[in-house]
Structure 1
């Protein structure tokens, strides 16, 4: 039987691709997969970056403004002022800090200056809200496609202000984003006027200058408020490239940019054609030579000391750390009103540059010297801290920066003033001047430099003891007063803070409370010339003491008082005592055997006191005129004996003060109705009679006049050996009135 089979239609035969085709397909397949992968990676990365950027950007939105415009005045130059002959302040010196900047209010900045800045830097400043989006996008596109022939800046005045204040100038996207949002926030917080004021006060304008006020002073010698339109445009022209358009270095480049600024001002309608043309034609005169001279100028010893005193007072009175006090002094925009008389300062400086001022000495090298000049209110009028050319700023100032034993200049301030005040002595009291050995001071036997130990009785009058600088007499009086009394008066009343109460070194006690220290000035550390000058002011003003000071007040940039020296004078001696000691010291210069006779000035009354330490290592002269007290110190920085033919300090003082008084008249020292002039017997020291063999004029407190001399009284029947009149029962020289 036949098997029945179903017929089936065979499947069509597959066509097989060639190997080349198959290879191409595989390549395209791989490329597709790579592209797809890259696409998804880019999408994912874009999302991540977008998210991060959004977070980063949003981090700046609605944040507090990072720039506090109200604190910018801290970056301002401090100016020192002196008074002219009419008592009006003028600029003496600017303290040099890294940036010379003087803050000025918008009301003092000419409208022309403001318009010039807008025209040159930000034409739509008055319309935008911190960012000029058109300029920003243009600058961005120009980075990739050169649609502008030059590099375009998109920063507005507000953005430039932020860069100048923060110093953030990195060329980075995140910095630009940060700047944009800070600018937007800044304009929410401050007005256009406040932003313009800040901008014009902080922009760098070449030669270390910041701000238009300092630039106006530097380039034109004017305040900004007095600048012409042409000068305003010239200063604004510096802003983009301060080095290229520096008026001192490249005046031609400055002129090109100035004219561009003026053209822009005309185009924007800020000025008319007439003003534009006049400004273009105006010839600008820059202060280049004065600037070079100022740059090379070394500040005076006085300015050095003002800096030291203000720093000290900021730390002491305000509690500032030294670094912060220094920052405030140099960059706080302070206005310091000083006490200096610049004509006196320059006169003393000139004298100390002239070798003829100083007598020759026999040493191989001449000694150093300083000169300190005060008025009688404690105000420092001049300081010169060394001979010859000053070599730098804040170098050693020998008026204030050294302390030395002051020798016999100690006697009037530590001994004789107090002794007269306490009625221990008078002008003519005969003081024991013989030599004594003080066993309590290691058998010390002081000597007198001229070997004079008084008259035949071993006595010397108070006035003569000062005139001749007799050591033994001063020691005798000091011993009666007590060294502690003298010490306390000097330190507590006359601010001689360098004196040593007690100090232990290596088991040994050092103190200035001793006879030799208080009567002869043989001190542990010594005193500064300024301290000594301050102490002697009491003998030129009737017994008043005011602490020495180099400034009257310090104001901040807003005019608020930071520091002020307004202490009222303190009476430390009676008027009559001060007048009497002054007259005694006049004898040092004009009297017989006066140690300061070489200090005489024609037409000027001079009182003074010399002082020399052991072995002539330090020499002094304190000279008083009716207007000033001046102190000369001479010595070596590393102490050695000064060998001389003529004692130098009084001559130095005369040479310096003589030049000062060539151009000044002199008055007279204060007098007192409580001081009376009387003739006294030079033998007894009592008031003279017609029988006294030798007399002189003395000056006495009306409340403490000595008795009449009985040593030369002629015998009379009714007067006994004690001078008692038997008829009246009283001393014969006493009357009922």
Structure 2
């Protein structure tokens, strides 16, 4: 074993071979040890002398470098801390898997020819209009039109192009090495601007924004595929006006789905985003063509398209979709779209328990698909008719109206010297004057409650969500309420029938002291007296009701059908009195959903039979009430069937209700009674039925007091339509148009023209009949079923379970005063002469 010699121990024998003295240098071994002298400590080598200034500069530079490194480290740490804090809430904004961008809602309509769903309108705010498109729908040429020009290294970079970014920053903040400001944003960075609206552009704010943007772009690129990023980018870019996203741009500029775009159309769309004003296709088409061709050149140079494709596409002219007045995506929405919007907002408020403004925002930005009830052909025909060119259907009847303020749309009345005509009230209020004309409204439904067309005013519509007189304005109904209340319930309850004889005279006579004479009381200062006090004044009372024109009837017995056809108030009130005003109110208010009527003040014969309600009803509600004269069924009027969310799930279904309001028997009898309004020589609209391939029609005219509101509601086997005509502020139309022009026939003729147009190509259709209704001959003098001795008979329609008795009168023994009528035989002896030229309601 090898022995290790440690200090203090004996020495082992020296190994064989050369002996090396490790304690001294070679030189020392030669000279031998020096005795009595310690070896000197080696001296530190001396530096060469340096100039003091240079030494100072060197030390300063070294110090500055160290400080710079330290400062840079602090800045880097601060920058990281800043961007982390500044982007802490980006989770939802940059969640591309569940991106919740503002998307316009789309209104769909059923094509009346093909039955296919087609886009009718968009519901969008004034800020944006976007419809989402998946990347698979977007043509490759459109994708690369953006990539080749905006970010050619898109598929290879990590979300940021550092070379271009550094160059842009040097140019911006240190040394202007380029002649113009340089853009360095990748598609990721541009997407971040679109999603966050973080667009500070200059100075310190611009630098911080760029820092946030770079960090966000790096995070976005790490979290999502390039395809997901590109899809989001193409759906968020902005074009002219409120257009956002390539799907909307394709529809607006070329009236196409994005998937159908050609190469030059793709390049055109990609060109606009550079500068939507400078490259606006409508105002700067030449600039746009040059930019378009430059984009396609880039695509060719980068190998995306061939030279032949480039040259063929560059030779194409710029052809945009025609801008028509009826274009479905016009910025001014139709009256139908306005009414639909109102209905949807209310239903969303109810569903989400949110405010009106919140519901509107959700509808504008939620990307819903609304399946509407509009019939585009009928809507277009109605819109054209209601343009009322040259007052073709509705006379203007201009008159001055006093108001407290004037709007831009008003026709202000001026004095001869050019100053506004005004009046100052006793309280200091200044009144102005404007010229106003008559207005009108029209709405058409089918018998399933679908509103298929609606127009709420005359002339060209120039504002979205403008006053919709057909949907949201209530007016007194006049005589149009008679059939849906008194007459329908009278037949339903078995109180009257087709030929029930009723006396054409006031229900209340003056001497009964039931109805006040308001004019007399006002003139003589008696308005404040109670009914008991007023009985001391016999002339303070009047007979009631009067018929149209002011007469009180001739005290003759008139069959029910005749009183309805002529719209005799005296006959209708007698029927209403049999039924009861409260029963009528409950039926029209609850069953027919005329819920704008006043439950306190409208429960009376004047309101429920004569139509002088507190507020009245809308044309839409009134048209829906007349549905019951088809088969007895009532369905709540509605403008949509379903609403789908952006994922295709059902979000809303219309909450309309449908039920049997009248028995089919009563409905058919009433249908036949109302046919006389149009087809009988004594009807208030006699002879004015539409000529539609032999199809029948029914209807009812209506006039409110002093001709302030004129109505017609008409039905065909396909449609039921309400037409209203009057002034926005109720005014006696005879004062401007005269008694011969202010007639309900104006409304009738507008309806007739519309029906003849929209039903021209429809196959023949008949109203449904009822097995429980029979035709029978009746005696025109007694109203009973005709007996063998009845000299004059006619045919009527009756419920089989409620037939009148058989006439067994001895007509020859009738009183002498009645002999002429009884022996005359022709029906004209008891039926008044033709009043086809007059309104008798």
Q: TM-score range by the shorter chain?
A: 0.7 to 0.9
- 2:679 — aligned with what? 590
Query: In structure 1, what is the Cα distance between the partners aligned to 2:697 and 2:195?
Result: 58
Instruction: Classify the secondary structure of the residue corresponding to 1:409.
Output: helix
Is 2:662 aligned against 1:634? no
Q: Which runs of 5+ in 2 are unaligned?
A: 1-51, 401-435, 516-530, 532-540, 814-841
1:301-330 Cα deviation digits (max 9, x unpaired): 222222222222222333232122211222
Is 2:500 aligned against 1:470? no
Matched ranges for 1:261-410 at <5 A: 261-287=295-321, 298-352=332-386, 353-354=388-389, 355-358=391-394, 367-410=438-481
CA contact (8 A) 1:216 1:222 kept: yes
Range with greater deviation from structure 2 (317-326 or 485-494): 317-326
CA contact (8 A) 1:60 1:181 kept: no
- 1:449 — aligned with what? 547
TM superposition shift of 1:90: 2.4
Matched ranges for 1:33-182 at <5 A: 49-59=75-85, 65=91, 66-70=93-97, 72=99, 74-86=101-113, 87-97=115-125, 98-143=127-172, 144-145=174-175, 150-171=180-201, 172-182=206-216
Query: In structure 2, what is the Cα distance between the partners aligned to 1:147 and 1:361?
Result: 72
Range with greater deviation from structure 2 (238-247 or 671-680): 238-247
Change in Cα spacing, 1:712 to 1:381, as seen in structure 2 (3 Å) is: farther
1:378-415 Cα deviation digits (max 9, x unpaired): 22232222233434332222212321221111111111
Instruction: Classify the secondary structure of the residue corresponding to 1:395.
Output: coil
Q: Identify which of 224, 240, 261 aligns with 2:274.
A: 240
TM-score (normalised: structure 2): 0.74
TM superposition shift of 1:340: 2.4
Range with greater deviation from structure 2 (261-270 or 409-418): 261-270
Change in Cα spacing, 1:289 to 1:713, as seen in structure 2 (3 Å) is: closer
Instruction: Classify the secondary structure of the residue corresponding to 1:520.
Output: coil
TM superposition shift of 1:238: 2.6
Q: Identify which of 622, 629, 636 aligns with 1:547.
A: 636
TM superposition shift of 1:565: 2.5
TM superposition shift of 1:678: 0.2
Query: In structure 2, what is the Cα distance between the partners aligned to 1:150 and 1:291?
Result: 43
Query: In structure 2, what is the Cα distance between the partners aligned to 1:318 and 1:711?
Result: 69
Change in Cα spacing, 1:601 to 1:325, as seen in structure 2 (3 Å) is: same
1:143-178 Cα deviation digits (max 9, x unpaired): 434555654322211111001111111132221221
TM superposition shift of 1:589: 1.8
Query: In structure 2, what is the Cα distance between the partners aligned to 1:681 and 1:387?
Result: 48
CA contact (8 A) 1:73 1:333 kept: no
- 1:564 — aligned with what? 653
TM superposition shift of 1:606: 2.6
Is 2:520 aligned against 1:520? no
CA contact (8 A) 2:445 2:719 kept: yes
Query: In structure 2, what is the Cα distance between the partners aligned to 1:486 and 1:362?
Result: 38
Query: In structure 2, what is the Cα distance between the partners aligned to 1:293 and 1:404?
Result: 32
C-alpha root-mean-square deviation of aligned residues, in Å? 3.5
CA contact (8 A) 1:344 1:660 kept: no
CA contact (8 A) 2:479 2:610 kept: yes
Q: Which runs of 5+ in 1 are unaligned?
A: 1-24, 503-510, 716-737
CA contact (8 A) 2:780 2:794 kept: yes
Instruction: Classify the secondary structure of the residue corresponding to 2:672.
Output: helix
1:34-71 Cα deviation digits (max 9, x unpaired): 99999999788666545433432454689863423355
Is 2:578 aligned against 1:488? no
TM superposition shift of 1:199: 0.2
Query: In structure 2, what is the Cα distance between the partners aligned to 1:616 and 1:291?
Result: 35
Instruction: Classify the secondary structure of the residue corresponding to 1:323.
Output: helix
TM superposition shift of 1:416: 1.2
- 1:531 — aligned with what? 621
CA contact (8 A) 1:409 1:521 kept: yes
- 1:702 — aligned with what? 800
Change in Cα spacing, 1:45 to 1:374, as seen in structure 2 (3 Å) is: same
Instruction: Classify the secondary structure of the residue corresponding to 2:778.
Output: strand
Query: In structure 2, what is the Cα distance between the partners aligned to 1:573 and 1:338?
Result: 28
CA contact (8 A) 1:335 1:557 kept: yes
Query: In structure 1, what is the Cα distance between the partners aligned to 2:55 and 2:374?
Result: 93
Query: In structure 2, what is the Cα distance between the partners aligned to 1:133 and 1:575?
Result: 80
Query: In structure 2, what is the Cα distance between the partners aligned to 1:199 and 1:495?
Result: 49
Is 2:745 aligned against 1:650? yes
CA contact (8 A) 1:351 1:656 kept: no
TM-score (normalised: structure 1): 0.84
Query: In structure 2, what is the Cα distance between the partners aligned to 1:92 and 1:626?
Result: 26
CA contact (8 A) 2:340 2:640 kept: yes
- 1:721 — aligned with what? none
- 1:618 — aligned with what? 709
Is 2:458 aligned against 1:428? no
Query: In structure 1, what is the Cα distance between the partners aligned to 2:398 and 2:787?
Result: 50
Instruction: Classify the secondary structure of the residue corresponding to 2:265.
Output: helix
CA contact (8 A) 2:636 2:657 kept: no
Instruction: Classify the secondary structure of the residue corresponding to 1:202.
Output: coil
Change in Cα spacing, 1:301 to 1:415, as seen in structure 2 (3 Å) is: same
CA contact (8 A) 2:111 2:117 kept: yes
Query: In structure 2, what is the Cα distance between the partners aligned to 1:358 and 1:63?
Result: 60
Change in Cα spacing, 1:550 to 1:395, as seen in structure 2 (3 Å) is: same
Query: In structure 2, what is the Cα distance between the partners aligned to 1:555 and 1:202?
Result: 22
Change in Cα spacing, 1:133 to 1:712, as seen in structure 2 (3 Å) is: farther
1:622-670 Cα deviation digits (max 9, x unpaired): 2222222222222222222222225622343224422541434553222
- 1:719 — aligned with what? none
Change in Cα spacing, 1:596 to 1:647, as seen in structure 2 (3 Å) is: farther
TM superposition shift of 1:607: 1.4
TM superposition shift of 1:573: 0.6
CA contact (8 A) 1:74 1:328 kept: no
Query: In structure 2, what is the Cα distance between the partners aligned to 1:62 and 1:600?
Result: 71
CA contact (8 A) 2:189 2:217 kept: yes
Range with greater deviation from structure 2 (638-647 or 656-665): 656-665
Query: In structure 2, what is the Cα distance between the partners aligned to 1:208 and 1:691?
Result: 80
How many aligned residue pairs are there?
680
CA contact (8 A) 1:632 1:649 kept: no
Change in Cα spacing, 1:292 to 1:160, as seen in structure 2 (3 Å) is: farther
TM superposition shift of 1:444: 6.8
CA contact (8 A) 1:361 1:645 kept: no
